[in-house]
Chain A
Amino acid sequence: MSTTALGMPTVRHGVGNIFEFEPFPEYAEKELKNEQLRANLGFATHKIRDKRAAVINELPDWQDLRTAGSMIKQKVMANLDTYLQEFEKNFTAKGGHVHWARDANEANEIALRLIREQGVTEVNKIKSMATAETGLNEFLEEHGISAIETDLAEEIVQLGEDRPSHILVPAIHRNRTEIRDIFRKKIEGVNPDLSDDPAELAEASRFRLREKFLTNKVAISGVNFGIAETGTMTIVESEGNGRMCLTLPETLITFMGIEKILPTTQDYEVFLQLLPRSSTGERMNPYTSMWTGVTPGDGPQNLHVILMDNGRTAALADQVGRQALHCIRCSACMNVCPVYERAGGHAYGSTYPGPIGAILTPQLGGIEEQYNSTLPFASSLCGACYEACPVKINIPDVLVHLRGKAVDLEKAQGEFEGGKKDRHIQMDAMMFGAKTLFTSGKLLSLATRGLPASRLITGRSHKISKLPGIVGGWTDYRDIPEPPKSSFRNDWKKERGEAPKRVGGERVDLQALIAANQGKLAEAHAKAEAANPIVKEAK
């Protein structure tokens, strides 16, 4: 666990699967060459994107729900210690047991101890980001305990000895034929002629797991929300494997990041509307389970929750970055992200891919660790993620903020694992050069007098096709146009001279003009429709 003084408090980062072990650009380059992956991802992200847009447009108060969701999360973070204690009190009063884990290792150890107390060697699992973050399955395996993933996609990933590529549909990088082959090979007693029909594949999973559901005595889960006022926990899911795990075993162990708290059931009504629509693009997911401690004669009688920090308090210390903790793991940001769509989830290294991963991973694991500092740069800052986020996390702002931290750290520490030194020196030199020019109009005027000279390198083709160094990435895919003979500022000076800077007089009241022109956009739009209707939208 690394300790870094970032601003005011000394913070403790987490451990586990919250690191990028290869610079994002290099990882992405490899993934981009995987045509199957790109085709599957493109199909999946666009399909979910369209479904999401359709169900969100149904709600007249979507923006009001987002506002409420965002404000509730701010309130949670500002009072996190209070709500966690309230949750613990209420959950405990109803017969549950609460454990606290400073990091992923401690959480895993607690789970192992609780499983061993039950004397079992096999446990059922519901898909959970928190246990993926802690690497629980591998940890248990090392200690002789098999964790059976019961979500179909996680099952495919587990049986295929693979890694999830999407937090919502983790096996989206696999097509049906690959899945059929995995099932034929790995499911004992399965029909050797199993077809690749998704319904038949789902049936094969039902056949395999039913026995596990009926016999295994311990289940492990994550949680979507924990409600402080009642001590209630809730999980949303689709297949019914969640209900099986939450209802049939004797012991249930739930991993819960400390940020998953909601104050009241009234707050829950907001999130139960935000989450399914943002996530699967459904009005509601098939099943949602809620349990408040132990219910005699119904469901697990031995209930545990592990409240885990693992770097969350480090993120909380950052005034700009702490909003990343508002995330409800819906994956909407991934599905709209042009970078994720092409590079895929694996390129982000961590359990948390996509735009949210790019701001969460460096904050949980430390931006100075491994190649985490390359993640905030894995974005064109197009803003689609912010627009889609159901709790209005301003991901582009946090990305830029973390870029600043990456640059500051690099300057303070010299080289660190987040980058390559010569590229940094080149970047620094470029930024220094640009700053020198951009802090003086006079210098810029002088510099742009050199534009005709730069035309020498463009040659007959009137373009630049190969640049050296870090900017060479530009010319790998594009030409640069021939620069003009003269810059605008120099032309202007020559043609117009200097106008008087000060003329005095009253300023035009712009706000009054804008108010008077309020209907003009609609008018312009109507005229545009009349002049050039959008009938020929290319498909």
Chain B
Amino acid sequence: MSEAKEEILGRIRASLWDHPQPAEPIRNYRRVSDKSQEEIIEILVDRLIDYKANVYHETAETIADRVAELLGSSSRYVVPTGIKQEWLPEDTATRARVVDSGNADKPGALSLRELDAVDAVVTSSTVSCAETGTIALNSSDQEGRRAITLVPDHHICVVPVETIVDLIPETVARLDFAKPVTWISGPSATSDIELIRVEGVHGPRTLDVIILK
């Protein structure tokens, strides 16, 4: 044990000279939603729009067209290895996907410069919290490593309806904390200048959310 560690732990024990015995925390806050799935989806959409994200409702049949439209006719975009192929439009001469291997140390991973040069990223998501309008990415092979959803300026994020929950405790319960988690509530924003909200600083300035039935 380092000298500093030993000393700090000693100080803590000395400071707790009165041996406080606080009661177990009371958790009377809501941990399970009482809302219907329709209501929950409606709330999520409302919150996302409030954050200036763009929201689209699609099905398995319509999603690829929507992704194509959002990418535009000319786009080089990155996707994680596990992305569902049926969500993506056919590549064209001017619109093509690049698959990132998901591990910066392995072949097939884009360098930061390459990521900075792509136009967009398309991923899925693990769980979304309606009450706060938050989408959580949990490093699955449908979401990829953290850099691919950060460096490109445009994030198209698919939210399958079965991943939408109402409350933060329900969201936390679906996450695996052994892997990195990124919670996203709208595009990046700042209010640092006269408290005027500006969407888009360093993170993706455009966040498109596709609610997939």
**B17 cross-chain contacts in A, Cβ below 8 A:** 8-9, 317
Query: In chain B, residues 47-90, which have Cβ atoms closer than 8 Å to a Cβ of chain A?
Result: 47, 51
A202 touches B146 (CB 8 A): no
B178 touches A60 (CB 8 A): no
User: Chain B interface mostly helix, strand, loop or mixed?
Assistant: loop
**Chain B residue with minimal CB distance to A270?**
B29
How many A residues are at the interface, by size bracket? 35 or more
Asked if A368 lies at the interface with its beta carbon under 8 angstroms from chain B, I say no
B201 touches A81 (CB 8 A): no
What separation, in Å, do the CA atoms of A276 and B132 have in the docked complex?
A: 10
What separation, in Å, do the CA atoms of A162 and B113 have in the docked complex?
A: 33
Query: In chain A, residues 118-160, which have Cβ atoms closer than 8 Å to a Cβ of chain B?
Result: 150-153, 156
Asked if A85 lies at the interface with its beta carbon under 8 angstroms from chain B, I say yes
What separation, in Å, do the CA atoms of A301 and B74 have in the docked complex?
A: 35
**B23 cross-chain contacts in A, Cβ below 8 A:** 71
**B16 cross-chain contacts in A, Cβ below 8 A:** 77-78, 80-81, 316
A283 touches B172 (CB 8 A): no
A346 to chain B, nearest CB (A): 18
B101 to chain A, nearest CB (A): 8
Asked if A286 lies at the interface with its beta carbon under 8 angstroms from chain B, I say yes
Q: A71-B23, A283-B185 are in contact. Are A292 and B179 (CB under 8 A)?
A: yes
Q: Once A and B bind, how many residue pairs between them come within 8 Å at the CB atom?
A: 265
Asked if B109 lies at the interface with its beta carbon under 8 angstroms from chain A, I say yes
Q: A77-B20, A172-B195 are in contact. Are A240 and B203 (CB under 8 A)?
A: yes
Q: A9-B14, A60-B30, A313-B11 are in contact. Are A297 and B20 (CB under 8 A)?
A: no
Asked if A11 lies at the interface with its beta carbon under 8 angstroms from chain B, I say yes
CB<8 Å pairs between A and B, sample of 21: A44-B195, A64-B28, A71-B24, A71-B25, A84-B9, A102-B8, A210-B202, A230-B177, A239-B202, A239-B203, A241-B202, A258-B8, A265-B175, A286-B185, A288-B182, A289-B182, A291-B180, A297-B102, A299-B180, A316-B15, A319-B18
- Residues of A at the B interface (CB closer than 8 Å) are 8-12, 40, 43-44, 47-48, 60-61, 64-65, 67-68, 71-72, 74-75, 77-78, 80-81, 84-85, 94, 99-102, 106, 150-153, 156, 169-172, 175-176, 179, 198-199, 201-202, 205-206, 209-210, 213-214, 227, 230, 232, 238-241, 243-244, 246-248, 258, 265-270, 272-273, 276, 280, 282-292, 295-299, 307, 309, 313-314, 316-317, 319, 322
In the A-B complex, the 9 residue pairs with the closest CB atoms: A240-B203, A297-B103, A240-B202, A71-B25, A288-B183, A284-B132, A240-B188, A74-B22, A317-B15
